[in-house]
Amino acid sequence: MAIQTVGIVGAGQMGNGIAHVFALAGFDVLLNDISQDGLDKALVTIRKNLERQVSREKISAKECEAALARISTTLTLSDLAQQDLIIEAATEKEDVKNEIFEKLKPHLNPKTILASNTSSISITRLASRTDRPGQFMGVHFMNPVPVMQLVELIRGIATDEATYQELKHVVEKLGKTHASAEDFPAFIVNRILIPMINEAVYTLYEGVGSVTSIDESMKLGAAHPMGPLELADFIGLDTCLAIMNVLHDGLADTKYRPCPLLTKYVEAGWLGRKTGRGFYDYSGDTPVPTR
């Protein structure tokens, strides 16, 4: 089945980016969220990001307007049920994702492929809660989606070959590169990246270095484009903590124990850029370290 229509659940940072790249690649996109405000903000963000691509001569003004015309929105989850492909891009909580697939189940077209943009949760387990584990895969986009070239493709134990091949073709049509990952906690990128961030938080927690010295050391000493604490704020500290908990619970290894300071920041609601405060305070013109 050639995929032409795509439903996306969740209009946040990841969902609107996924909608952007699919629409630009010629797919008809139906974007769903639980709030109209979320959908309105997503459309503003998508337009802004497309116009930035126009200004940088990555795409034409005509391509920008055509992409925007391909995106529709809805507050009703079941409206997505007849799409060829549905990608769940909700918060990184397994019960939330299961509830979404459960609500979609009675309305789905038999041929619809389901996918999750989860960054860490078992694809096999998510698929088992649906009526079509053979037509279920992990399709993990990197943030920011319009910029990052990689998409992790994760097969659950029941995912059939036709589903894998179809989604591999979709990734190629998006102009991105796929990496096939086995269904282990956090897959490839976050299995390596998030423990590094957690170790940076431990380095701060233990007083080895300040926020500034840790980030500068990794930028200048290891040629990282962003320091690990700055990157944590960009990802969202709640997401980092959720992935560390998945690793710790799934692999039962103490090396994946979330740093208590990371937990404390999340408990305080200091989640990074999206809340205006994390390891940096974003209330002024220039981010200021909070420790």
- C-alpha–C-alpha distance, residues 240 and 197, integer Å: 8
Question: Residue 46, Cβ neighbours under 10 Å: how many?
Answer: 25
Judge whether 157 and 134 are in contact, CB under 8 Å. Answer: no
Please give the C-alpha separations between residue 45 and each of 13, 20, 54, 277, in angstroms, as whole numbers.
9, 9, 14, 21
Catalytic residue ranges = 119, 140, 152, 190
Instruction: Return the number of other C-beta atoms located less than 10 Å from residue 188's C-beta.
Output: 16
List, in order, residues 6 or more apart from 222 with CB less than 8 Å away: none
Handedness of CA 162, 138, 105, 158 (dihedral sign): positive
Kindly provide the b/e burial profile for residues 250-281, where b requires at least 16 CB atoms within 10 angstroms of the residue's own CB. eeeeeebebbebbeebbeeebbbbbeebbbbe
The CB density around residue 288, as the number of other CB atoms within 10 Å, is 13
- The span from the CA of 7 to the CA of 113, in Å, is 10
DSSP 207-270: TSS-HHHHHHHHHHHS--SS-HHHHHHHH-HHHHHHHHHHHHHHH--GGGPPPHHHHHHHHHT-
Distance separating alpha carbons of residues 253 and 220, to the nearest angstrom: 31
